[in-house]
Amino acid sequence: MPLSAKAKMSSSFPSFLLLLFLFLTVVLVTTSSVAQAQTQLKNRSLKSPFSAIYVFGDSTVDPGNNNYIKTLLKSNFTPYGRDFPNHKPTGRFTNGRLATDFIASYLGLKEFVPPYLDKTLSLQELMTGVSFASAGSGYDPLTSQLASVIDISKQLDYFREYKTRLEQAIGKKKTANIIEKSGVVISSGSDDFMFNYFLVPIRQLEFTVDSYQQFLIQNLWQTVESLWKLGVRKIAVSGLPPLGCLPLVITLNPINTNEIIERGCIEKYSSAARDYNQKLQVELATMKKHYAKLGGRIVYVDIYQPLLQLIQGHKQFGFKEWRRGCCGTGLVETTFLCNLKSPVCPDASKYIFWDSVHPTERTYFLIFNTFNATINTLLN
């Protein structure tokens, strides 16, 4: 062989080895990444019998859908999200995570439930569940109209749109399987009473408290029926909190001078919430029997007693304040009134409420811990 040819072979051989090494490295890394992803998916499916989580309701479960609509009820600015990862305001009406985020993590699905209206969501994010909730909404369509937000009916429309998107991406059979094995959380009704019935109060001209409660529950029944027709088989419905103990309600409804000074809970609001919860449980018991025959499960989630216990025993649970929120004066600030210029308490974990309406992340976590048994009922 000529010397020049040997020289060329000699000089090109190291280059070939380098290319081979890079090729094998890419293959090994890619294979490892795929295997790791498959293992994670396998572990997750083994850990949780749920395929996805879907959420409907109001600001207690809205992770940021209102960011994408024209409404004043937003929270995608500081100091909201102060204790969220990367200190990012996401549109959640609290300083960190919501109860539904803790539920999704507990089920092994994801750490955070994203808003459906976020168009940057990946297919994987969509497949494991989203929230359709909108802050300021309720079971009463008028409640959402007053706040220019997404009512329950429109949230269901978005779920239908979601289902179609999934069918186009992975097929109807796989989509139906995901929805059938999913879990749904519904949390709504507080704004119906706080703002629409008591504060405005347009609905008082048409309904008594009792008949308004029945009206809301009838709308909930229709929501459950719609979800069933769309393939959902497991649903958790939240009751109302002690509305009279929310800082904003106390501020706007002083009964006398002592109420202004002592800031005690307003019984009229809490009583309406308790009565509604009792009616709701009776109605859900009927729904439970009906859908159990068809292979479905419906459970009631009590948040009234857990929140009331935190309030009444706040010092025992490590809180120093419940009568006001962490943001601003804590008496009236919520949504745009809680903003960059608002003074904020140094440690939100010492407060039950973040603003004058919404709980802190720690409160949501403690409430979530009380209904683990309820979630397990859906699991089993």
Q: Sign of torsion, CA 225 68 103 163?
A: positive
Return the closest-CA partner of residue 220 out of 52, 54, 56: 56
- Give the C-alpha separation, 252 to 246, whole Å: 10
Active site residue 290: no
- Give the C-alpha separation, 351 to 308, whole Å: 14
Amino acid of residue 191: D
321 strand-pairing partners:
351
Tokens of 108: 């092994």
Catalytic residue selected from 134, 182, 192, 358: 358
Active site residue 87: no
- Give the C-alpha separation, 62 to 34, whole Å: 33
Catalytic residue selected from 62, 83, 151, 355: 355
Catalytic residue selected from 59, 137, 144, 187: 59
8 strand-pairing partners:
none
- Give the C-alpha separation, 214 to 191, whole Å: 16
Measure the CA dihedral 306/371/149/209, to 10°: -50
Active site residue 59: yes
Measure the CA dihedral 74/96/358/66, to 10°: 20
Q: Looking at the annotation, which residues are catalytic?
A: 59, 355, 358
